[in-house]
Amino acid sequence: MTLLSVNVNKIAVLRNSRGGDEPDVATAARTCIEAGAGGITVHPRPDQRHIRPDDVTNLAALCTGRVEFNIEGNGFAPARGGYPGLLALVARTRPTQCTLVPDADGQITSDHGFDLRADAARLRPLIAELRAHGCRVSLFMDADAPDIARAAELGAERVEIYTGPYAAAFARGDPARELAACVDAAERACAAGLGVNAGHDLDQPNLRVIKAAIPALAEVSIGHALIRDALYAGLAPTVHAYLRALAPA
Predicted confidence band of residue 57 (pLDDT cuts 50, 70, 90): very high
Contact 81, 105 (CB under 8 A): no
Range with lowest mean pLDDT among 23-27, 62-66, 76-80, 144-148: 76-80
pLDDT of residue 106 exceeding 70, the answer is no
Does residue 200 have an active-site annotation?
yes
Class of domain 3-246: alpha beta
Phi, psi of 61 (to 5 degrees): -65, -40
- The mean per-residue pLDDT over the stretch 1-16 comes to 96
Of residues 140 and 111, more confidence is placed in: 140
Range with lowest mean pLDDT among 92-101, 105-114, 198-207: 105-114
Does residue 72 have an active-site annotation?
yes
pLDDT above 70 covers what percent of the chain?
A: 98
Among 160, 178, 200, 219, the active-site one is 200
- Give 157-185 pLDDT, tens digit per residue: 999 999 999 999 999 999 999 999 999 99
- What pLDDT shows up at residue 104? 72
Among 43, 160, 178, 219, the active-site one is 43
- What pLDDT shows up at residue 225? 94
pLDDT of residue 45 exceeding 90, the answer is yes
pTM of the predicted model over 0.85 = yes
Which of 221, 185, 217 lies closest to 1 in space, CA to CA?
Answer: 217
Does residue 112 have an active-site annotation?
no
pLDDT of residue 12 exceeding 90, the answer is yes
Among 50, 72, 160, 219, the active-site one is 72
Domain boundaries, the chain: 3-246
